Amino acid sequence: MTTKISIATLPEFDATEYLRSDADIAAYLNAMLEEGDPALLAAALGDIARARGMTEVARASGITREALYKALRPNSMPRFDTVYKVCKALGVKLHAQPS
């Protein structure tokens, strides 16, 4: 007999706990880019920024911490210049390659 599990009793998943190295961050970001969803990319950048320290990323990107939280929340659609500044502050680059 199988036991039913209530979703409400499961712990909330937090990706920031798994983003410890540059390789972890690059793999996570690449996986999100492959999905092709801008909102998912924004949320992933938010996860990475929280893992690195939102205050530090805000300072390095020249964007206020509050604006970063707003731009990188799930289902947001940040402007490309925001994505670019955050990537630069995080030390990651987006590359194009033939598919």
CA–CA gap between residue 33 and residue 43 (Å, rounded): 11
Residue 7 lies in a domain: no
pLDDT tens, per residue, the chain with 99 residues? 688 888 888 888 899 999 999 999 999 999 999 998 888 999 999 999 999 999 999 999 999 999 999 999 988 889 999 999 999 999 999 888 887
Residue 26 lies in a domain: yes
Residue 96 lies in a domain: no
Query: Over the Cα atoms of the chain, what is R_g?
Result: 15
Cα of first residue to Cα of last residue in the chain, in angstroms, is 46
Residue 5 lies in a domain: no
Residue 76 lies in a domain: yes
Residue 6 lies in a domain: no
Cβ atoms of 80 and 57 within 8 Å: the answer is no
Residue 97 lies in a domain: no
- What's this model's pTM, rounded to 2 decimal places? 0.84
Residue 99 lies in a domain: no
Domain limits for position 50? 20-90
Torsion angle defined by CA atoms of residues 61, 64, 65 and 67, in that order, rounded to the nearest 10 degrees? -100
User: Both tokens of residue 52?
Assistant: 């690195």
The number of domains in the chain is 1
Closest CA to 44 of 14, 22, 88: 14
User: Both tokens of residue 90?
Assistant: 């995080």
